[in-house]
Amino acid sequence: MSWGMMRMSYKNSEGYSDPTAGVAMGSAKKQEQEIDKLNHKVMQSFRLLLDLAGFEIVGRVTLRHKKSGRIFK
């Protein structure tokens, strides 16, 4: 699907095409995906560091992204 098609495919609650909102929502979704990938890399690095030091995680690790405020458990 081309970028133009993706922008035009979003419709508001009344059913009308809303390309501005579609672009904004697409941008927000992209940022969320980037934060998810970064969280995954941080956890992989943390586990590797702990393993190299002879430790392991035995409980839940909770992270909060400072900029977005999202919490990862």
* Distance in angstroms (rounded) separating the CA atoms of residues 21 and 26: 8
* pLDDT tens for the 73 residues of the chain, in order: 444 444 457 888 888 888 888 888 888 889 999 999 999 999 999 999 999 999 999 999 999 999 999 999 9
Three-state SS for 7-70 is HHCCECCCCCECHHHHHHHHHHHHHHHHHHHHHHHHHHHHHHHHHHCCCCCCCCCCEECCCCCC
pTM attached to this predicted model: 0.67
Burial 45-63 (b: 16+ CB within 10 A, else e): eeeeeeeeeeeeeeeeeee
